[in-house]
Structure 1
Amino acid sequence: MAENTQGTRPRIFASPGRYVQGRDALARLGELLAPLGRRPLLLADDTVRGLTEPVLGPAFDKAGLPLVFERFEGLPTRAEIERVARVLSEGDHDVVVGLGGGTAIDTAKAAGEDAGVPWVSAATVASTDAPTSALSVVYTEDGGFESYRFYDRNPALVVVDTGFVAAAPARFLAAGVGDALATWIEARAVERAHAENMVGGVPTRSGTALARLSWDILWESAPAALEAVEHDLVTPDVEAVVEANTLLSGLGFESGGLAAAHAVHDGLTAVEQTHHLAHGEKVNIGSLTQLVLEGAPAGEVDRFAEFTAGLGLPTTLTEAGLGDADDATLDTVVAAATAPEETIHNLA
């Protein structure tokens, strides 16, 4: 177990400047952006632009802001980040908005950092806890995990429109649940090992408690929320799960810390067979792996597997695309998951 040196290390808690969640929240984006800049750039793929432009046009007109989109090419790679940063600088934009899911949001953060402008997360799905955090996951051109990129500030603003979340395929919300359930599993492991969180300090009690709160909400509300979004409904359970997936999990993983679940996710991205899985779906395999590594009681492992399988999340290597994988493929996953810089080493 790591030496207990908490007395010599600071406790650090990180959070975005403001968080706004609810049905029609995107209709307020113009007024919320106005104090941050007068020439925003919205980074979104074609699908997200088509869905949101009818709402954002009137909102930006009312706020007196120009509505300028930049097409997102699909992955937060180094090349895409550099390209968007150039667009920001050449267009004299003073704030960048990542609009859509986690990959667009992570790209906007990195490009905003490079261009020296504030960044905003505007989520239309609740599939990851990326929107609130001060880091991006950077991928290789072929979709493999490359690195985490850290910043000294969080998004200035996070907006999550639950109307759009409910209208999106239920698989996106389920993937967010898979990502968020790992938050408590990992935060409690970091606490046990006296390891550091994602912002370079000892986890605060609030960060760890928010991770646990996310877990509790999901066990209570996730099944009903997924049933509701199958019918495009925004219910109290949907609002609760969106908050757990986005705000509570985001604060919990960043200030509580990561361990093996996300490291296994990173390892799974190293092989092509798993590229059909969403981020949170791979994380769910990682959560089960961590529970086994920790020697959790069989009943706890079984209960978690049954609960997440009921939500449509993968719980086996076969579902991950690795049922027939040879030793060389599995060795590639293991090598990436246990790389020296990986968070798996935060396990006691």
Structure 2
Amino acid sequence: MDKIIISPSKYVQGANALNSIGEYVKPLGQKALAIADDFVTGLVGEQVAQSFAASEGELLLEKFNGECSRVEIDRLIAIAEQNESEVIIGIGGGKTLDTAKAIAFYRNVPVVVVPTIASTDAPTSALAVIYTEDSEFSEYLMIPRNPNMVIMDSKIIAGAPVRLLISGMGDALSTYFEARANARSGGQTMAGGAPTRAAQALAKLCYETLIEDGLKAKIAAENGLTSPAVENIIEANTYLSGIGFESSGLAAAHAVHNGLTKLEECHHLFHGEKVAFGTLVHLVLENAPMEEIQEVLAFCKSVGLPTNLHMMGVKELNMDKLMEVAAASCAEGETIHNMPFEVTADSVFSAILTAHELGK
């Protein structure tokens, strides 16, 4: 199997980076269609418009209606065609960004992704998640190329609710351990090949950055401030984790996250909050050294990520429901089968209960 690493063509990060978005986008196309919801438009719309005016670029800022659905994608494609847009820009959260990726894919034009939060590692990926109009999962859109550019304005991200930044840390926490498991098993990554040493190194750096700077970043962000630690965590949550997961592979942690969606009590949690507990289950499943498990537990507790089922909203443990979670985690095609040993629902069930007790 060939080794493959994939990534955005350009990654830009810094306080007030949006002041220069017009200049950054200019080489990709003169006429841009940007999409953002009402809140994000109010937050950065004027700043983006002024940057494009200063760079003498043409900008059409269109409202995103909130759901990355086929209906919304088709509506915005029609606007892009009518405007003869040469580049698509998505500004906001995950669904806005995925919609921009989809429009650009179907229009065969460049896409620029501008997250206003650092809550997941999805912005850098060649993937969009499509939902129905009723917000139910519909399909994955696998895009043959990563975004042309990702722009992270750290001042805006530091001003977002801190829980979102912490959730991003939870998502990033799994990257190294899943990459390590995938390398041991020889599984194929989402990039379509074996992991490169570069991707594995980024995954490890992601974990080291979280341990070193996670708590410091949380404290600064609680005060709406940027700092070297905040900058490092934004990069870890987005770029290091993004390249790490896509080009090094997923394993048990994300599969357990998917299984936890079976528990109604966990529906209020963000993606990364569930992945953090999934990471603990992953480590128990592979019988990792207690020293490593204790380091992960200490990190989660320091930044406020859940370490047991009670913290996730499960008041009483229902063994039948937890077995459903374990079974769903082991469904055919799930990434848990990238672990370097056979995994069963029974072994996952045992690991969930053990992780819960260790994290209490």
For normalisation by structure 1, the TM-score amounts to: 0.90
**Is 1:199 the counterpart of 2:223 in the alignment?**
no
- Shift of residue 35, structure 1, vs aligned partner: 1.5
Deviates more, 1:268-277 or 1:321-330: 321-330
Report the number of matched residues.
Answer: 340
Residues 63 and 238 of structure 1, relative CA distance in 2, 3 Å threshold: same
The answer to whether 1:157 aligns with 2:149 is yes
Q: Which residue of 1 aligns with 2:124?
A: 132
Alignment partners' CA distance in 2, 1:159 and 1:216: 23
Name the counterpart of 2:289. 297
One-letter identity of the residue aligned with 2:160: A
Alignment-derived partner of residue 279 in structure 1:
271
- Secondary structure of 2:312's partner? coil
Q: Following TM superposition, by how much is the alpha carbon of 1:275 offset from its aligned partner in structure 2, in angstroms?
A: 2.6
- Which whole-Å CA distance do the structure 1 matches of 2:82 and 2:264 have between them? 36
Equivalent runs, 1:97-176 vs 2, <5 Å? 97-139=89-131, 145-176=137-168
User: Are 1:211 and 2:206 matched, yes or no?
Assistant: no
259 and 138 in structure 1: CA distance in 2 versus 1, 3 angstrom threshold: farther
Once the two structures are superposed, residues 170-207 of structure 1 have per-residue CA deviations (whole angstroms, 9 ceiling, x without a partner) of 11111111111111011001001111111110000000
AA in 2 matched with 1:109: K
TM-score by length of 2: 0.87
- 1:311 aligned residue (303, 327, 333): 303
Corresponding residue number in structure 1 for 2:32: 40
- Cα gap change, 1:283/1:56 in structure 2, threshold over 3 Å: closer, same or farther? same
Question: For structure 2, which runs of at least 5 residues remain unmatched after alignment?
Answer: 341-360
1:339 aligns with 2:331: yes
Compare 338-347 and 219-228 and name the one that shifted more. Answer: 338-347
Q: Contact 1:40–1:97 (CA<8 Å) still a contact in 2? A: yes
- Name the residue aligned to 1:260: 252
After superposition, the Cα gap between the structure-2 partners of 1:20 and 1:273, relative to the gap in structure 1 and judged at 3 Å, is same
Distance in 2 of aligned mates of 1:336 and 1:60: 47
Structure 2 vs 1, CA of residues 166 and 142 (structure 1 numbering), >3 Å: closer, same or farther?
same
Range with bigger deviation, 92-101 or 47-56: 92-101
Give the AA of the match of 1:241: I
2:21 corresponds in structure 1 to 29
SS across alignment from 2:311: coil
Q: CA separation of 1:328/1:92 partners in 2, compared to 1, >3 Å: closer, same or farther?
A: farther
C-alpha separation in 1, matches of 2:79 and 2:142:
22
Judge which range, 257-266 or 9-18, deviates more: 257-266
Question: Aligned with 2:58: secondary structure?
Answer: coil
Query: 2:267 corresponds to which letter in structure 1?
Result: H
Mean CA deviation greater in 48-57 or 201-210: 48-57
Q: Aligned-pair distance for 1:328?
A: 6.0
The CA distance in 1 between the partners of 2:189 and 2:271, in whole Å, is 20
**Counterparts of 2:174 and 2:318 in 1: how far apart (Å)?**
27
Equivalent residues of 1:121, 1:155 under 8 A apart = yes
3-state SS of the aligned residue for 1:34?
helix
Change (3 A) 1:76 1:125: same
Question: 1:5 is matched with which residue?
Answer: none
1:230 aligns with 2:222: yes
CA–CA distance in 1 between the matches of 2:287 and 2:129?
A: 29
Equivalent position of 1:6 in the other structure: none
Aligned residue number for residue 81 of structure 2? 89
Which sections of structure 1, spanning at least 5 residues, go unmatched? 1-8
Take 1:184 and 1:62, find their aligned partners in 2: how far apart are those partners? 42
